[in-house]
A and B are shown apart, each in its own frame.
Chain A
Amino acid sequence: MNLASAGKKVLDWIGKTYSNDIGNLLITTGMLGFGLSSGAQIIGIAKNNKIEKKEKTYMINQEVGDALINILSLLAFGKLTKHIGTKLVSTGKILPKTVASALEKGGFGEKIGKAGFDVLDTAVMKNPANANLLRDFANCKNMTESFGAVGGSVLSGCLIAPILRNNYASYMQKSIHPIENREFNRIDLSKYNSANVSGMKI
Protein backbone atom coordinates (compact mmCIF):
# COMPACT_ATOMS: atom_id res chain seq x y z
CA MET A 1 0.00 0.00 0.00
CA ASN A 2 1.54 3.36 -0.96
CA LEU A 3 1.26 6.60 1.00
CA ALA A 4 -1.48 8.12 -1.19
CA SER A 5 -3.81 5.13 -0.89
CA ALA A 6 -3.15 4.93 2.88
CA GLY A 7 -4.02 8.63 3.15
CA LYS A 8 -7.22 8.07 1.16
CA LYS A 9 -8.20 5.23 3.48
CA VAL A 10 -7.74 7.53 6.49
CA LEU A 11 -9.83 10.25 4.81
CA ASP A 12 -12.53 7.70 3.90
CA TRP A 13 -12.65 6.61 7.53
CA ILE A 14 -12.93 10.23 8.72
CA GLY A 15 -15.73 10.84 6.18
CA LYS A 16 -17.58 7.69 7.25
CA THR A 17 -17.14 8.25 11.01
CA TYR A 18 -17.53 11.99 11.46
CA SER A 19 -19.56 13.37 8.52
CA ASN A 20 -22.78 12.63 10.46
CA ASP A 21 -21.59 13.49 13.94
CA ILE A 22 -19.02 16.19 14.58
CA GLY A 23 -19.89 16.57 18.28
CA ASN A 24 -18.10 13.36 19.31
CA LEU A 25 -14.92 14.46 17.54
CA LEU A 26 -14.94 17.78 19.41
CA ILE A 27 -15.14 15.91 22.71
CA THR A 28 -12.39 13.41 21.78
CA THR A 29 -9.96 16.06 20.49
CA GLY A 30 -10.85 18.29 23.45
CA MET A 31 -9.78 15.53 25.85
CA LEU A 32 -6.56 14.85 23.96
CA GLY A 33 -5.85 18.58 23.85
CA PHE A 34 -6.25 18.96 27.63
CA GLY A 35 -3.84 16.07 28.26
CA LEU A 36 -1.17 17.30 25.87
CA SER A 37 -1.43 20.93 26.90
CA SER A 38 -1.08 20.07 30.60
CA GLY A 39 1.92 17.83 29.87
CA ALA A 40 3.68 20.66 28.06
CA GLN A 41 2.79 23.19 30.76
CA ILE A 42 4.13 20.93 33.56
CA ILE A 43 7.50 20.78 31.79
CA GLY A 44 7.38 24.58 31.35
CA ILE A 45 6.66 25.19 35.06
CA ALA A 46 9.32 22.73 36.21
CA LYS A 47 11.93 24.50 34.04
CA ASN A 48 10.89 28.02 35.07
CA ASN A 49 13.49 29.44 37.49
CA LYS A 50 11.47 32.53 38.33
CA ILE A 51 8.78 30.61 40.15
CA GLU A 52 9.49 29.56 43.76
CA LYS A 53 9.40 25.90 44.78
CA LYS A 54 6.23 26.28 46.84
CA GLU A 55 4.30 27.95 44.02
CA LYS A 56 5.72 25.39 41.59
CA THR A 57 4.25 22.57 43.69
CA TYR A 58 0.87 24.30 43.61
CA MET A 59 0.95 24.99 39.88
CA ILE A 60 2.20 21.53 38.85
CA ASN A 61 -0.59 19.97 40.88
CA GLN A 62 -2.95 22.53 39.38
CA GLU A 63 -1.96 21.30 35.90
CA VAL A 64 -2.29 17.62 36.86
CA GLY A 65 -5.69 18.35 38.37
CA ASP A 66 -6.60 20.46 35.34
CA ALA A 67 -5.94 17.62 32.90
CA LEU A 68 -7.63 14.91 34.98
CA ILE A 69 -10.69 16.92 35.97
CA ASN A 70 -11.06 18.49 32.53
CA ILE A 71 -11.02 15.09 30.84
CA LEU A 72 -13.46 13.56 33.32
CA SER A 73 -15.85 16.50 33.37
CA LEU A 74 -15.70 16.88 29.59
CA LEU A 75 -16.57 13.20 29.26
CA ALA A 76 -19.46 13.56 31.68
CA PHE A 77 -20.76 17.02 30.73
CA GLY A 78 -19.78 16.99 27.05
CA LYS A 79 -21.59 13.70 26.45
CA LEU A 80 -24.53 14.69 28.66
CA THR A 81 -25.08 18.11 27.09
CA LYS A 82 -24.62 16.64 23.60
CA HIS A 83 -27.20 13.96 24.44
CA ILE A 84 -29.60 16.67 25.65
CA GLY A 85 -29.05 18.45 22.30
CA THR A 86 -29.91 15.24 20.43
CA LYS A 87 -33.01 14.53 22.54
CA LEU A 88 -34.37 18.07 22.11
CA VAL A 89 -34.53 17.54 18.36
CA SER A 90 -35.46 13.83 18.24
CA THR A 91 -38.49 14.43 20.50
CA GLY A 92 -39.45 17.53 18.52
CA LYS A 93 -38.87 20.06 21.34
CA ILE A 94 -36.75 22.09 18.89
CA LEU A 95 -37.53 21.68 15.21
CA PRO A 96 -37.32 23.63 11.97
CA LYS A 97 -40.76 24.97 11.02
CA THR A 98 -40.71 22.91 7.81
CA VAL A 99 -40.47 19.63 9.76
CA ALA A 100 -42.92 20.70 12.50
CA SER A 101 -45.57 21.76 9.92
CA ALA A 102 -45.21 18.50 8.00
CA LEU A 103 -45.59 16.50 11.23
CA GLU A 104 -48.69 18.51 12.20
CA LYS A 105 -50.21 17.88 8.77
CA GLY A 106 -49.38 14.19 9.13
CA GLY A 107 -51.40 13.99 12.37
CA PHE A 108 -48.51 14.05 14.86
CA GLY A 109 -49.16 17.58 16.17
CA GLU A 110 -50.24 16.37 19.62
CA LYS A 111 -47.15 14.23 20.08
CA ILE A 112 -44.51 16.83 19.16
CA GLY A 113 -42.28 17.69 22.13
CA LYS A 114 -43.42 14.81 24.35
CA ALA A 115 -40.71 12.83 26.15
CA GLY A 116 -41.26 9.49 24.41
CA PHE A 117 -41.82 10.87 20.90
CA ASP A 118 -39.36 10.04 18.12
CA VAL A 119 -39.61 12.34 15.09
CA LEU A 120 -37.75 9.87 12.85
CA ASP A 121 -40.17 7.08 13.77
CA THR A 122 -43.09 8.71 11.94
CA ALA A 123 -44.64 7.97 8.56
CA VAL A 124 -43.89 11.56 7.50
CA MET A 125 -40.14 11.23 8.00
CA LYS A 126 -40.01 7.67 6.65
CA ASN A 127 -41.60 8.78 3.38
CA PRO A 128 -38.84 8.78 0.71
CA ALA A 129 -40.46 11.82 -0.94
CA ASN A 130 -39.56 13.92 2.16
CA ALA A 131 -35.79 13.87 1.74
CA ASN A 132 -35.63 17.65 2.22
CA LEU A 133 -37.32 17.28 5.64
CA LEU A 134 -34.76 14.67 6.65
CA ARG A 135 -31.98 17.05 5.61
CA ASP A 136 -33.46 19.91 7.68
CA PHE A 137 -33.89 17.56 10.63
CA ALA A 138 -30.27 16.35 10.37
CA ASN A 139 -28.99 19.96 10.19
CA CYS A 140 -31.06 20.92 13.21
CA LYS A 141 -29.79 17.89 15.18
CA ASN A 142 -26.19 18.73 14.23
CA MET A 143 -26.74 22.32 15.37
CA THR A 144 -28.16 21.43 18.80
CA GLU A 145 -25.47 18.77 19.29
CA SER A 146 -22.77 21.34 18.54
CA PHE A 147 -24.33 23.79 21.01
CA GLY A 148 -24.54 20.97 23.55
CA ALA A 149 -20.96 19.77 23.06
CA VAL A 150 -19.47 23.31 23.14
CA GLY A 151 -21.69 24.31 26.06
CA GLY A 152 -20.49 21.24 27.94
CA SER A 153 -16.84 22.10 27.16
CA VAL A 154 -17.30 25.66 28.42
CA LEU A 155 -19.07 24.53 31.58
CA SER A 156 -16.50 21.85 32.38
CA GLY A 157 -13.34 23.60 31.18
CA CYS A 158 -13.98 27.14 32.36
CA LEU A 159 -15.99 26.66 35.54
CA ILE A 160 -16.05 23.18 37.06
CA ALA A 161 -12.45 22.12 36.35
CA PRO A 162 -10.77 25.36 37.60
CA ILE A 163 -12.68 25.22 40.91
CA LEU A 164 -11.99 21.52 41.52
CA ARG A 165 -8.34 21.65 40.35
CA ASN A 166 -7.63 24.59 42.69
CA ASN A 167 -9.02 22.66 45.64
CA TYR A 168 -6.89 19.66 44.70
CA ALA A 169 -3.75 21.77 44.13
CA SER A 170 -4.09 23.68 47.41
CA TYR A 171 -4.61 20.41 49.30
CA MET A 172 -1.50 18.93 47.66
CA GLN A 173 0.54 22.08 48.30
CA LYS A 174 -0.42 22.07 51.97
CA SER A 175 0.43 18.42 52.39
CA ILE A 176 3.81 18.76 50.62
CA HIS A 177 4.81 22.12 52.17
CA PRO A 178 3.06 22.25 55.55
CA ILE A 179 5.83 24.22 57.30
CA GLU A 180 6.18 26.90 54.61
CA ASN A 181 2.42 27.33 54.64
CA ARG A 182 2.39 27.89 58.38
CA GLU A 183 5.25 30.41 58.04
CA PHE A 184 3.44 32.23 55.26
CA ASN A 185 0.31 32.55 57.34
CA ARG A 186 2.28 33.81 60.34
CA ILE A 187 4.11 36.48 58.31
CA ASP A 188 0.89 37.64 56.69
CA LEU A 189 -0.85 37.82 60.05
CA SER A 190 1.97 39.72 61.75
CA LYS A 191 2.04 42.30 58.93
CA TYR A 192 -1.69 42.74 59.22
CA ASN A 193 -1.49 43.19 63.00
CA SER A 194 1.40 45.70 62.92
CA ALA A 195 -0.37 47.77 60.27
CA ASN A 196 -3.45 47.83 62.45
CA VAL A 197 -1.51 48.78 65.53
CA SER A 198 0.35 51.64 63.81
CA GLY A 199 -2.90 52.79 62.22
CA MET A 200 -4.55 53.02 65.62
CA LYS A 201 -1.57 55.00 67.04
CA ILE A 202 -1.58 53.21 70.37
Chain B
Amino acid sequence: MNVGNIVNLVSISKMAQKTGNAFRGGYTKLPNIQLGEKAFTTATKIGQFISNPVGNRIVLAGTGILLQPTIDYYNKKVDRKTREVSAIRTASKIIAGTGVGLAVRGGCMALTKNMKYIPEIIKNNPDKINNYRTAVSTIAAMAIMTITNFLLDAPLTTKLSNKWLEKREQKEQKEQKEVKA
Protein backbone atom coordinates (compact mmCIF):
# COMPACT_ATOMS: atom_id res chain seq x y z
CA MET B 1 0.00 0.00 0.00
CA ASN B 2 1.53 3.35 -1.00
CA VAL B 3 1.39 6.68 0.87
CA GLY B 4 -1.42 7.99 -1.38
CA ASN B 5 -3.68 5.06 -0.44
CA ILE B 6 -2.99 5.57 3.29
CA VAL B 7 -3.79 9.29 2.96
CA ASN B 8 -7.05 8.38 1.17
CA LEU B 9 -8.01 5.89 3.91
CA VAL B 10 -7.31 8.44 6.64
CA SER B 11 -9.38 11.13 4.91
CA ILE B 12 -12.27 8.65 4.33
CA SER B 13 -12.28 7.63 8.02
CA LYS B 14 -12.15 11.30 9.06
CA MET B 15 -15.09 12.06 6.76
CA ALA B 16 -17.06 9.11 8.20
CA GLN B 17 -16.30 10.34 11.73
CA LYS B 18 -17.45 13.86 10.85
CA THR B 19 -20.67 12.54 9.26
CA GLY B 20 -21.32 10.37 12.33
CA ASN B 21 -20.76 13.32 14.67
CA ALA B 22 -23.03 15.56 12.59
CA PHE B 23 -25.75 12.88 12.63
CA ARG B 24 -25.47 12.38 16.40
CA GLY B 25 -25.55 16.15 16.96
CA GLY B 26 -28.60 16.56 14.68
CA TYR B 27 -30.39 13.66 16.34
CA THR B 28 -29.78 15.06 19.83
CA LYS B 29 -31.15 18.43 18.75
CA LEU B 30 -34.49 16.88 17.74
CA PRO B 31 -37.15 17.57 20.39
CA ASN B 32 -37.94 14.79 22.85
CA ILE B 33 -41.54 13.58 22.87
CA GLN B 34 -43.10 12.53 26.15
CA LEU B 35 -46.45 10.85 25.78
CA GLY B 36 -49.02 11.58 28.48
CA GLU B 37 -51.40 8.83 29.55
CA LYS B 38 -54.10 9.69 27.00
CA ALA B 39 -51.73 10.16 24.06
CA PHE B 40 -49.83 6.99 24.96
CA THR B 41 -53.02 4.89 25.16
CA THR B 42 -54.28 6.29 21.82
CA ALA B 43 -50.91 5.79 20.07
CA THR B 44 -50.65 2.23 21.44
CA LYS B 45 -54.17 1.45 20.20
CA ILE B 46 -53.39 2.84 16.73
CA GLY B 47 -50.12 0.84 16.73
CA GLN B 48 -52.03 -2.32 17.63
CA PHE B 49 -54.64 -1.62 14.92
CA ILE B 50 -52.15 -1.05 12.10
CA SER B 51 -50.14 -4.09 13.10
CA ASN B 52 -53.11 -6.46 13.21
CA PRO B 53 -53.75 -8.23 9.90
CA VAL B 54 -57.02 -6.39 9.13
CA GLY B 55 -55.78 -2.91 10.05
CA ASN B 56 -52.52 -3.49 8.20
CA ARG B 57 -54.45 -4.45 5.05
CA ILE B 58 -56.75 -1.40 5.34
CA VAL B 59 -53.80 1.02 5.63
CA LEU B 60 -51.95 -0.55 2.69
CA ALA B 61 -55.09 -0.76 0.51
CA GLY B 62 -56.17 2.80 1.30
CA THR B 63 -52.83 4.34 0.33
CA GLY B 64 -52.41 1.82 -2.50
CA ILE B 65 -55.70 2.67 -4.26
CA LEU B 66 -54.86 6.37 -4.07
CA LEU B 67 -51.27 6.16 -5.31
CA GLN B 68 -50.67 3.06 -7.44
CA PRO B 69 -53.22 3.52 -10.29
CA THR B 70 -52.23 7.21 -10.44
CA ILE B 71 -48.55 6.28 -10.81
CA ASP B 72 -49.48 3.76 -13.54
CA TYR B 73 -51.67 6.25 -15.37
CA TYR B 74 -48.96 8.89 -15.50
CA ASN B 75 -46.16 6.55 -16.64
CA LYS B 76 -45.27 8.44 -19.81
CA LYS B 77 -42.78 5.77 -20.89
CA VAL B 78 -45.57 3.69 -22.45
CA ASP B 79 -48.42 4.55 -24.81
CA ARG B 80 -51.79 5.83 -23.58
CA LYS B 81 -53.65 2.53 -23.99
CA THR B 82 -51.08 0.49 -22.05
CA ARG B 83 -51.13 3.08 -19.29
CA GLU B 84 -54.92 3.00 -19.02
CA VAL B 85 -55.14 -0.81 -19.09
CA SER B 86 -52.39 -1.04 -16.49
CA ALA B 87 -54.04 1.53 -14.16
CA ILE B 88 -57.38 -0.30 -14.48
CA ARG B 89 -55.77 -3.64 -13.68
CA THR B 90 -53.84 -2.24 -10.71
CA ALA B 91 -57.02 -0.72 -9.24
CA SER B 92 -58.90 -4.01 -9.83
CA LYS B 93 -56.09 -5.96 -8.19
CA ILE B 94 -56.16 -3.75 -5.10
CA ILE B 95 -59.98 -3.95 -4.82
CA ALA B 96 -60.09 -7.75 -5.28
CA GLY B 97 -57.04 -8.33 -3.08
CA THR B 98 -58.38 -6.13 -0.30
CA GLY B 99 -61.83 -7.74 -0.39
CA VAL B 100 -60.50 -11.29 -0.17
CA GLY B 101 -57.65 -10.28 2.16
CA LEU B 102 -59.97 -8.59 4.64
CA ALA B 103 -62.37 -11.56 4.66
CA VAL B 104 -59.55 -14.07 5.26
CA ARG B 105 -57.69 -11.95 7.82
CA GLY B 106 -60.90 -10.92 9.60
CA GLY B 107 -61.95 -14.57 9.81
CA CYS B 108 -58.57 -15.61 11.19
CA MET B 109 -58.61 -12.79 13.74
CA ALA B 110 -62.09 -13.76 14.92
CA LEU B 111 -60.95 -17.37 15.30
CA THR B 112 -57.83 -16.49 17.30
CA LYS B 113 -59.56 -13.91 19.50
CA ASN B 114 -60.93 -16.55 21.84
CA MET B 115 -58.14 -19.05 21.36
CA LYS B 116 -57.83 -21.18 24.45
CA TYR B 117 -54.25 -22.35 24.07
CA ILE B 118 -51.73 -19.81 25.31
CA PRO B 119 -48.04 -20.81 25.59
CA GLU B 120 -46.81 -21.18 29.17
CA ILE B 121 -44.01 -18.56 28.85
CA ILE B 122 -46.41 -15.69 28.05
CA LYS B 123 -49.43 -16.78 30.11
CA ASN B 124 -49.15 -13.96 32.66
CA ASN B 125 -48.45 -11.12 30.23
CA PRO B 126 -51.57 -9.66 28.53
CA ASP B 127 -49.51 -7.58 26.06
CA LYS B 128 -47.53 -10.58 24.91
CA ILE B 129 -50.75 -12.61 24.62
CA ASN B 130 -52.12 -9.89 22.37
CA ASN B 131 -49.03 -10.00 20.12
CA TYR B 132 -49.16 -13.81 20.11
CA ARG B 133 -52.79 -13.79 18.92
CA THR B 134 -51.95 -11.28 16.18
CA ALA B 135 -49.00 -13.44 15.11
CA VAL B 136 -51.10 -16.63 14.98
CA SER B 137 -53.84 -14.96 12.95
CA THR B 138 -51.28 -13.36 10.57
CA ILE B 139 -49.56 -16.70 9.95
CA ALA B 140 -52.90 -18.53 9.52
CA ALA B 141 -54.13 -15.85 7.09
CA MET B 142 -50.88 -16.13 5.13
CA ALA B 143 -51.31 -19.90 4.83
CA ILE B 144 -54.93 -19.57 3.63
CA MET B 145 -54.00 -16.82 1.20
CA THR B 146 -51.50 -19.04 -0.60
CA ILE B 147 -54.64 -20.74 -1.94
CA THR B 148 -57.07 -17.81 -2.21
CA ASN B 149 -54.51 -15.75 -4.17
CA PHE B 150 -54.84 -18.24 -7.02
CA LEU B 151 -58.48 -19.28 -6.60
CA LEU B 152 -60.10 -15.94 -5.73
CA ASP B 153 -57.84 -12.87 -6.03
CA ALA B 154 -56.52 -13.43 -9.56
CA PRO B 155 -59.84 -14.50 -11.20
CA LEU B 156 -61.67 -11.65 -9.44
CA THR B 157 -59.05 -9.16 -10.63
CA THR B 158 -59.45 -10.45 -14.20
CA LYS B 159 -63.26 -10.17 -14.02
CA LEU B 160 -63.18 -6.67 -12.56
CA SER B 161 -60.59 -5.36 -14.99
CA ASN B 162 -62.34 -6.93 -18.00
CA LYS B 163 -65.62 -5.22 -17.05
CA TRP B 164 -63.80 -1.95 -16.64
CA LEU B 165 -61.96 -2.43 -19.95
CA GLU B 166 -65.26 -3.15 -21.75
CA LYS B 167 -66.68 0.12 -20.45
CA ARG B 168 -63.52 1.93 -21.52
CA GLU B 169 -63.75 0.41 -25.01
CA GLN B 170 -67.43 1.36 -25.34
CA LYS B 171 -66.60 4.92 -24.33
CA GLU B 172 -63.75 5.07 -26.83
CA GLN B 173 -65.97 3.76 -29.66
CA LYS B 174 -68.62 6.33 -28.78
CA GLU B 175 -66.04 9.11 -28.86
CA GLN B 176 -64.71 7.93 -32.24
CA LYS B 177 -68.23 7.89 -33.68
CA GLU B 178 -68.81 11.42 -32.44
CA VAL B 179 -65.55 12.62 -34.02
CA LYS B 180 -66.50 11.00 -37.36
CA ALA B 181 -70.00 12.52 -37.23
Binding site for B on A (CB under 8 A): 8, 11-12, 14-23, 25-26, 29, 32-33, 36-37, 39-41, 43-45, 47-48, 50-51, 54-55, 58-59, 62, 91-97, 100, 112-116, 135-136, 138-140, 142-144, 146-147, 149-150, 153-154, 157-159, 162-163, 166-167, 169-171, 173-174, 181, 184-185, 188
Per-residue CB contact flags for chain B residues 129-143 toward chain A (1 = under 8 Å, else 0) read 101101110110110
A92 cross-chain contacts in B, Cβ below 8 A: 32
Knowing that A40-B149, A116-B24 touch, tell me 5 more A-B residue pairs with CB under 8 angstroms: A22-B135, A43-B150, A48-B162, A150-B50, A154-B60
B59-A19 in contact (CB<8A)? no
Beyond A97-B40, A146-B50, A166-B72, whether A138 also contacts B162 by CB under 8 A is no
A143-B44 in contact (CB<8A)? yes
Q: Does B67 contact A (CB under 8 A)?
A: yes
Q: Does B79 contact A (CB under 8 A)?
A: yes
B32-A113 in contact (CB<8A)? yes
Q: Which residue of A lies closest to B51 (CB)?
A: A146
Q: Which residue of A lies closest to B70 (CB)?
A: A162
Could you say which of B43, B131, B142 contacts A32, with CB atoms under 8 Å apart? B142
A93 cross-chain contacts in B, Cβ below 8 A: 27, 30, 32-33
Beyond A36-B145, A43-B154, A96-B34, whether A14 also contacts B93 by CB under 8 A is no
User: Which has the most chain B C-beta neighbours within 10 Å: A12, A39, A41, A169?
Assistant: A41
Beyond A43-B150, A154-B60, whether A20 also contacts B35 by CB under 8 A is no
Min distance, Cβ B14 to any Cβ of chain A, angstroms: 19
Could you say which of A8, A51, A58, A147 contacts B47, with CB atoms under 8 Å apart? A147
Q: Does B114 contact A (CB under 8 A)?
A: no
Q: Which residue of B lies closest to A147 (CB)?
A: B47
The distance in angstroms between the C-alpha atoms of A146 and B134, with both chains bound, is 12
A184-B132 in contact (CB<8A)? no
A51-B85 in contact (CB<8A)? yes
A138 cross-chain contacts in B, Cβ below 8 A: 127
User: Could you show 29 A-B contacts with beta carbons less than 8 Å apart?
Assistant: A14-B135, A15-B121, A15-B135, A16-B119, A19-B119, A19-B121, A22-B131, A26-B51, A26-B56, A33-B145, A37-B97, A39-B150, A40-B154, A43-B150, A47-B158, A55-B81, A58-B82, A59-B86, A92-B32, A115-B28, A142-B47, A143-B46, A157-B64, A162-B67, A162-B72, A167-B77, A173-B82, A184-B81, A185-B79
B119-A12 in contact (CB<8A)? yes
Could you say which of B24, B72, B132, B146 contacts A14, with CB atoms under 8 Å apart? B132
Beyond A55-B86, A59-B89, whether A36 also contacts B146 by CB under 8 A is yes
Per-residue CB contact flags for chain B residues 10-30 toward chain A (1 = under 8 Å, else 0) read 000000000000011001101
